[in-house]
Structure 1
Amino acid sequence: MTLSDDARVAELNGEWRDKPTPTNVLTFPAVEPDETADAPMLGDVILAFETVEREAREEGKSLSDHVSHLVVHGVLHLFGHDHLDDDEAEEMEALETRALARLGVPDPYALDALT
């Protein structure tokens, strides 16, 4: 996992996704999802610090909980999960919620519903 600044994440986002703005998390898989079991490295998860810090503050979440959520989110992307449609999003959010519960982090989607 790499913690970067918004400017660098905006550069990467522009270069790789044609979206030259910062985003909270970017993932760069090193292998295809069906190759993860034997892979020495899954890929890179990059967080944009300023964006992550601002989101945590605006959403009333602790920075550590929000970072934990985004790392879990990014790792799930490395395993091939996505949220391009409602069914995928629902499945990915359920996986995130279960993983975060094991880490003692509250359900971030329940918090979103309260704000």
Structure 2
Amino acid sequence: MIFVETQYDQTPAALNDLVENAALAALKHQSAPENATVTIVLTDDEQMHSLNLDYLGVDAPTDVLSFPSEEIDPETGDPYLGDILISVPRAANQAESTGHDVESEAQLLTVHGILHLMGHDHAEPEEKERMWQAQAEILTKLGLGNIQVRES
């Protein structure tokens, strides 16, 4: 189950459904348990800046943050994979600079975040190659094969 929470007033109306669908596609691609739960928060640069500083020691906003979890819901036994936060204003700026719409950018960032929750990383060249390949495959399935995967 995917929970999408909007904390940014200027979030485009279609974004919630699009990021939910992108998350589901990424989870399916990664063979995640069907009963897995993820929370996606659509927020602003201020919150992302604060979280980036608190958790990663980076004094700047970022586009996407992932917080993996290995919790199990005590009532249902369902795995909770974690939280993804996306800066909608940063997604809009990146979309504009790369020539596509914010909806496509938000889907890219969602896929990127899910891959981090599933254990992918891009710190080392071999890891990055595997993660970028998975992103490209998922984006193609979403009809976004034209979106360039870039360093994030």
The TM-score normalised by the length of structure 1 is 0.85
Q: Measure, in 2, the Cα distance between the counterparts of 1:64 and 1:106.
A: 14
From 100, 104, 126, the equivalent of 1:87 is: 126
Which residue in 2 is equivalent to 1:9?
48
CA offsets per residue over residues 77-108 of structure 1, 9 Å max, x none?
00000000111111101000101111111243
From 48, 60, 66, the equivalent of 2:87 is: 48
CA offsets per residue over residues 13-72 of structure 1, 9 Å max, x none?
00000002110000001129xxxxx85210000001111110000110121111111100
Helix, strand or coil: the match of 1:41? strand
Which structure has the highest helix share of the two? Answer: 1
In structure 2, stretches of 5+ residues that fail to align are 1-39, 72-76
Give yes or no for contact 2:53–2:60 (8 Å, CA) kept in 1: yes
The answer to whether 1:98 aligns with 2:127 is no
Give yes or no for contact 2:62–2:90 (8 Å, CA) kept in 1: yes
In structure 1, stretches of 5+ residues that fail to align are 33-37
Give yes or no for contact 1:6–1:51 (8 Å, CA) kept in 2: yes
Amino acid at match of 1:20: D
Amino acid at match of 1:61: H
Helix, strand or coil: the match of 2:136? helix
Give yes or no for contact 2:67–2:82 (8 Å, CA) kept in 1: yes
Amino acid at match of 1:7: E
The TM-score normalised by the length of structure 2 is 0.65
Helix, strand or coil: the match of 1:51? helix
Helix, strand or coil: the match of 1:7? helix
Which residue in 2 is equivalent to 1:26?
65
Which residue in 1 is equivalent to 2:6?
none
Q: Measure, in 2, the Cα distance between the counterparts of 1:54 and 1:82.
A: 24
Cα RMSD of the aligned pairs, angstroms, is 1.7
Report the number of matched residues: 106
Moved over 4 A (4+): none
